[in-house]
Structure 1
Amino acid sequence: MNTPGAPLELMLFESTAQGAKAVMPSGINRFIIDWEYIGKAERQAGFDTEIVPVGPFELSEVSRLPDALAWCRINRDGPQMPEEVELAVSSGARGIFLPMVTAPFEVERFLRAVDGRCQVGILVETSAALACVRSLAELPLDRVYFGLNDFAISRGGGSIFRAVLDGSVERAREAFDGRPFGFGGVTAVDGGTPVPCARLIEEMARLDCQFSFLRRSFRRDVLRVGVARLTDEVRAFWHKCQNRHASEIARDRHALELLLTGVCHAS
């Protein structure tokens, strides 16, 4: 459970030490260096996603920054996975995310490869993973993220926010109760489309999330308001959401359902 007043941890996809250093004065010190590429272009063809995989050099550069916590997203389970784990660990990863999980045995292989040398996380972003989420929750994971984009693709398309509306995200969160959990993405409180960031932050607080990834629109919004103001406003709004009364939480969830119903029907 969230400690009252605990901040929402923001994780930024970043591939350069220069980019990481630029945002660290604002309190962002958790970075994801993205190595995922296998099957991604084919899987996400026609969807509004971003594919910019990098490698060990970038991970090493970011991981050497004082106070930076560098995580690496490797490729999904496959023959290359143990070698990628070794590269990530030797390059200074403080944690590794395994994406596109479909079954517990994949995560068990991953855990054996890591062998306790850094933290481990998975991305629940397939319908198969949600179907076995209770079994996945029995494994010793440090962090779990629900990926809306690929989850929508695995279900044949439609709005990525359908998983929030129909309870899929909440079902995963309940399975991983007590574990650091995140979903969606964060940008400026007054930004985000078609679902405003503020509405997603309200839902993150309701579901007792501990972290989230920064949305691609974060970089655009930083140009508009500045990174210090953006993160300060996110933290202030998060604190406000954590201190809502039960009636306010129910009101905000109802408003979100109405919004998402329109978004999902339009997609």
Structure 2
Amino acid sequence: MFHYLYITRSPEVAAFVEQAGVTRLFVDLEIHGKVDRQGHLNTVISRHTMEDVTRVKSVLGVADLLVRLNPLHPGSRQEVDDAIEAGADIIMQPMFHTVEEVAEFGRYIDGRVRFMPLVETASALNQIGSISALNCVDEIHIGLNDLHLDLGLEFMFEPVASGLIEQSIETVSKPFGFGGVARVGQGDVPGELVMAEHVRLGSTGVILSRAFHAGADTVEALNDGFSFREELKKLMSERETLLSMDTDSLNAKHLEFQAGVKKILSKKL
């Protein structure tokens, strides 16, 4: 199954996007160090709370609730316990550098819910095979935003275009997803070309990015100037078309993707 993830603290938005086809709601509790890493960028730094976990969980039917906690710190065990009690189905660990950090986080979870480490540092990417092999790990997501910064690159899709992600996932033994996606025909790199990379590489999940939902934080905003439901349906349809393509056709899409990334980089020089 391929998962579409949506980050929100709003129960109303969560219920609406689940009905539209989102399979994982994402409450983001990470704050430690995030302003230092991303404060200079045009990114959203969430201010979600543990109470939001409970509120979002209360409206969900079949969708999973994913909760991103802080990086490993002295209070991590309590944060894990609190998130599970609040209703998390999946816990995400961000900003780690070693296999040992992931193993420790996994011991805190102790199999009570699913565990998804977020690979977003160069050292973590170098060890992704060993991380995925841990018994406590159920799946992996590769976070392109912080990863490209840690690698000293200019654009978040560079690690995909360069083949770095493709090379790294050869050692991965668990389901994995990566990055975010814009709408079909929209975004710095159009959503359909990003989705083609997910199909080509065998990904199992993507975050619906701010470029997809225009930063909407209400149901009204998700229907203001565009239809979230129709845009998600369009992306799903594009994915079905891509799944029917042969290897040569997907490789041709990959060349288009690389050209799109190269065009963005040329503007940054």
Q: TM-score if structure 2 supplies the norm length? A: 0.91
Q: Could you tell me how far apart the structure 1 residues matched to 2:153 and 2:40 are?
A: 10
- 1:126–1:240 Cα change, 3 Å: same
- 1:260–1:187 Cα change, 3 Å: closer
Alpha carbon RMSD of aligned pairs, Å? 1.6
SS at match of 2:225: helix
Decide which moves more: 207-216 or 131-140. Answer: 131-140
Q: Could you tell me how far apart the structure 1 residues matched to 2:20 and 2:234 are?
A: 11
Partner in structure 2 of residue 3 of structure 1: none
**Contact 1:9–1:212 (CA under 8 A) maintained in structure 2:** yes
Query: Any gaps of 5 or more consecutive residues in structure 2?
Result: 217-221
Decide which moves more: 220-229 or 204-213. Answer: 220-229
Deviations 1:173-197 (A, max 9, x none): 22224x22111212321221x2111
* Structure 1 residue corresponding to 2:162, chosen from 166, 191, 199: 166
Q: Could you tell me how far apart the structure 2 residues matched to 1:41 and 1:49 are?
A: 10
Deviations 1:32-82 (A, max 9, x none): 100000010011132221101311110001112241421100011111211
**Contact 2:29–2:49 (CA under 8 A) maintained in structure 1:** yes
- Asked whether 1:59 is paired with 2:53, we answer yes
Partner in structure 1 of residue 22 of structure 2: 28
**Contact 1:148–1:160 (CA under 8 A) maintained in structure 2:** yes
Partner in structure 2 of residue 131 of structure 1: 126
Question: Sequence identity, in percent?
Answer: 26
* Structure 1 residue corresponding to 2:12, chosen from 12, 18, 43: 18
SS at match of 2:118: strand
Mapping of 1:227-266 within 5 angstroms?
227-266=228-267
Matching residue's letter, 2:180 = G
**Contact 2:176–2:205 (CA under 8 A) maintained in structure 1:** yes
Matching residue's letter, 1:261 = K
Q: Could you tell me how far apart the structure 2 residues matched to 1:136 and 1:66 are?
A: 30
Q: Could you tell me how far apart the structure 1 residues matched to 2:138 and 2:129 are?
A: 16
Query: Any gaps of 5 or more consecutive residues in structure 1?
Result: 1-5
Deviations 1:129-182 (A, max 9, x none): 1122222121132221111110111123411121112222213322224x2211
- Asked whether 1:155 is paired with 2:151, we answer yes
* Structure 1 residue corresponding to 2:81, chosen from 56, 77, 86: 86
Matching residue's letter, 1:198 = E
Partner in structure 2 of residue 145 of structure 1: 141
Decide which moves more: 165-174 or 218-227. Answer: 218-227
- 1:29–1:252 Cα change, 3 Å: closer
* Structure 2 residue corresponding to 1:42, chosen from 8, 20, 36: 36
Q: TM-score if structure 1 supplies the norm length? A: 0.92
